[in-house]
Structure 1
Amino acid sequence: MHQHLFEFIRELYQTKDFIPLHAPRFVGQESAYVQHTLDSTFVSSVGAYVDRFEADLASYCKVSKAVAVMNGTAALQAALYAAGVINNDLVVTQSFTFVATCNAIHWSGAEPVFVDVSELSLGLCPKSLADFLQQQCELTEKGCIHIKSQRRVRAVVPMHTFGHPVQLDELMLLCQQWQLVLVEDAAESLGSLYKGRHTGTFGRFGTLSFNGNKIITTGGGGMVLCADANDGMALKHLTTTAKIPHSYEFVHDDYGFNYRMPNLNAALGCGQLEQLDGFIADKREIAALYQDFFAGSEFRCIKEPTYARSNYWLNAVICPSAEVKTQWLESAAEQGIMLRPAWRPMHQLAIYQHCIRTKLAVTEHLAEHLVNLPSSVRETL
């Protein structure tokens, strides 16, 4: 099977050269916009493209305010701070995620709690969250308290894994019932829709990443989507060193973050965002072709949930055994095709082994059997 797959991938991308997992595509106005920033000399953290990128992204996602920052991790850390997460808090998230999700929680002074993911979305499972809250927590006048540790459970951070939206209605209801703040890690899901509405716009905050391997890139960058305009203005102030606007004085009224996105990066983002719909259309076509290829086999392609439209940032397939997965990865590397295993689950990393967790059967199965396939937008777009 794997040799037929490799031939299919080479035909899909029409090349005999190395095929990466996900490469950026620059076919629009990116070069012109970046050159404009060079000509203007406004290449750093002040410039028209930062304002434009924020406004364009807010309009695209239909939120009150979008705040550009230097990367997705900074976006999540700033959002957690603005959501009220403080030292010694607990934040519920998924172990099946990239380490940046948990690192942002850690550097907020809090600690992650791991619940399982859903086989439906590969993102945080509402039933697993409900079981944790009902079995290990109580709602008091101080909020949601973890009974054994007596620590405050402050927030829930689901990640829309590989671009597939989680079951947001159920998660929002649980957050409402237990007085928890919902912060969406939408780093991988720009352009994905939950029941017709953009991911990252359901929680108080949503965060995006524009790393070089994301569906659009600014080289390095991130964005915080804010449901409330006042939250957005406060977060913009906080992430730009909390400096009070003045023509020459330097007065800062809070312990701000220097998380500003450079104008140079924002210019690249403006050019990329103009092409996002085309990128999504091509990636959805690629996903359909993979699904046709694996139809009727013992391999299961991950498909968008029926309630969602996924951007299919990364296509994924579940192998019948861990041995088959390893064989695929090794054979692909020898033939110049990049496949990727799932992340090692966070609860299996030494730095997070001590964290509170529920049973994580789906997480561990995915880690043993899942493989990501090349998912770049094709050059024929």
Structure 2
Amino acid sequence: MSKVSIVDFVRDIYQTNDFIPMHAPTFNGNEQKYVLETIQSTFVSSVGKFVDEFEQKIETYTGTAKAVATVNGTAALHAALYMAGVRAGDLVITQALTFVATCNALHHMGAEPIFVDVSPVSLGLCPKAMDEFLIQHAQVTDNGCIHKQTKRRIRAVVPMHTFGHPVELDELIAVCHKWNITLVEDAAESLGSFYKGKHTGTLGDFGAVSFNGNKIITTGGGGMVLCKTAELGAHTKHVTTTAKVPHPYEFFHDEAGFNYRMPNLNAALGCAQMEVLELYLAQKRVLANRYQAFFENSDFQFVTEPDYAQSNYWLNAVICPSVAARDELLTQTNDAGVMTRPIWKLMHRLPMFKDALRGDLTQSEHIEAHLINLPSSPIAL
């Protein structure tokens, strides 16, 4: 590593002696203008022009057939899983190395996770590990993919594009086809990331994006379901708006739905943020390149995008040579007012998921013990 300390390096990047957060929202465009316009219109809730406009902007940018705005990313993933056919009692394959929201969405619909290891290439779900787990523990029947020990259906798989780095989607899709499992992408962190030229969240039947305050663009709180077809999108929109049948004044709901609508106020913020997304992506790529150069020729391995992908570099990360080195770096930076943090605890270490089925998690455990996230807010060019 350079003789310059990481604290001095980060402070030089952001040109401040104040506290440096992990990822702060940036508002330098039309955010105030659009939000004020929404307030003045009085359409601040779930009906208003900015909701439609925001969905259209996401459709255009990602290339998805239909984007459906929701109140947050967890709601988007819950709706995506519901639309994919996941129901109470089902099993869903996902990674133990993920943010808890991935598993919370499963829990609240009565499904349970199966944890499979991640790939060192992407830090996301490993297709080889998934296939090996299924070969050992599952069989395809007339009723779908069945877990042999519990006799329960493995309905779907949810890979998460960790820190914005796309997973190996072609290989995962092939495994899904082999085992008759539906692919739902947790693209919460990966707006602006592309897999072989296609935006993340658009290769599965459904994808879920987050616009939380710490994401690359934010609506304050918000999410989006990306749907593979217009028909699926129309149904998703219906289900997430309480399944209300349109009528000038009567209330009739034709199925049990969700009140997951994104308020117009949040969508106004999102429309303004979309106008500067490309700038943020460029700024974050420059930042990632500077980190990579800083850690070059050191014992610390900076996490770069896979060869097949273009990442948004949402959160920059470095893999430390030892647990002791990780702890030392965490202490050094946080004591100096530069926020760094370890990666999430593996999901099976949390009390509510401790009994979940799982395969070998060697790679996940190594990353959990060695990885640190670095300050990643967009920088001035």
TM-score above 0.5, yes or no: yes
Partners in 2 of 1:324 and 1:282 — Cα distance?
A: 29
Matched AA of 1:220: G
Q: Which residue of 2 aligns with 1:278?
A: 279
SS in 2 for 1:101: helix
Q: Which residue of 2 aligns with 1:70?
A: 71
Map Cα deviations across residues 311-368 of structure 1 (whole Å, 9 max, x no partner): 0000000011111111111221211110011000001111111000001011111111
Q: 1:303-318 maps to which residues of 2 (within 5 A)? A: 303-318=304-319
Q: Which residue of 2 aligns with 1:371?
A: 372
Q: Which residue of 2 aligns with 1:205?
A: 206
Q: Which residue of 2 aligns with 1:127?
A: 128
Map Cα deviations across residues 51-85 of structure 1 (whole Å, 9 max, x no partner): 00001101110111000000000000011011000
Q: Which residue of 2 aligns with 1:61?
A: 62
Partners in 2 of 1:117 and 1:196 — Cα distance?
A: 22
Q: Is the 8 A contact 2:99 2:344 kept in 1?
A: yes
2:178 is the alignment partner of 1:177? yes
Q: Which residue of 2 aligns with 1:193?
A: 194
2:148 is the alignment partner of 1:147? yes
Matched AA of 2:23: H
2:26 is the alignment partner of 1:28? no
Offset of 1:212 from its aligned partner? 0.2
Offset of 1:109 from its aligned partner? 1.2
Matched AA of 2:216: I
Q: 1:1-381 maps to which residues of 2 (within 5 A)? A: 4-378=5-379, 380-381=380-381
Offset of 1:108 from its aligned partner? 1.5
Matched AA of 1:22: H
Aligned length: 380
Q: Is the 8 A contact 2:71 2:221 kept in 1?
A: yes
Partners in 2 of 1:168 and 1:294 — Cα distance?
A: 29
Matched AA of 1:152: R
Matched AA of 2:36: Q
SS in 2 for 1:151: coil
Partners in 1 of 2:345 and 2:331 — Cα distance?
A: 17
Matched AA of 2:251: F
Map Cα deviations across residues 80-131 of structure 1 (whole Å, 9 max, x no partner): 0110001110000000000000010111211000000000000000110000
Supply the RMSD in Å over aligned alpha carbons.
0.9
Partners in 2 of 1:118 and 1:7 — Cα distance?
A: 32
Offset of 1:3 from its aligned partner? 6.6
Partners in 1 of 2:321 and 2:175 — Cα distance?
A: 34
SS in 2 for 1:242: coil
Structure 2, unpaired ranges of 5+: none
Q: Is the 8 A contact 2:73 2:211 kept in 1?
A: yes
Map Cα deviations across residues 179-218 of structure 1 (whole Å, 9 max, x no partner): 1110000000001010011000000000000000000000
Partners in 2 of 1:295 and 1:330 — Cα distance?
A: 22
Which stretches of structure 1, 4 residues or more, deviate above 2 A after TM superposition?
none
Q: Which moved more, 1:170-179 or 1:152-161?
A: 170-179
Offset of 1:225 from its aligned partner? 0.3
Partners in 2 of 1:320 and 1:157 — Cα distance?
A: 30
SS in 1 for 2:357: coil
Q: Structure 1 length normalisation: TM-score?
A: 0.99
SS in 2 for 1:154: strand
SS in 2 for 1:306: coil
Partners in 1 of 2:14 and 2:55 — Cα distance?
A: 33
Matched AA of 2:29: G
Partners in 2 of 1:186 and 1:80 — Cα distance?
A: 13
Partners in 2 of 1:254 and 1:58 — Cα distance?
A: 26
Q: Is the 8 A contact 2:299 2:321 kept in 1?
A: yes
Partners in 1 of 2:322 and 2:371 — Cα distance?
A: 9
Structure 1, unpaired ranges of 5+: none
Partners in 2 of 1:186 and 1:23 — Cα distance?
A: 19
Partners in 1 of 2:128 and 2:173 — Cα distance?
A: 13
Q: Is the 8 A contact 2:326 2:371 kept in 1?
A: yes
SS in 2 for 1:28: coil
Map Cα deviations across residues 148-167 of structure 1 (whole Å, 9 max, x no partner): 01000000000000000000
Offset of 1:224 from its aligned partner? 0.2
Q: Is the 8 A contact 2:6 2:333 kept in 1?
A: no
Partners in 1 of 2:142 and 2:256 — Cα distance?
A: 29
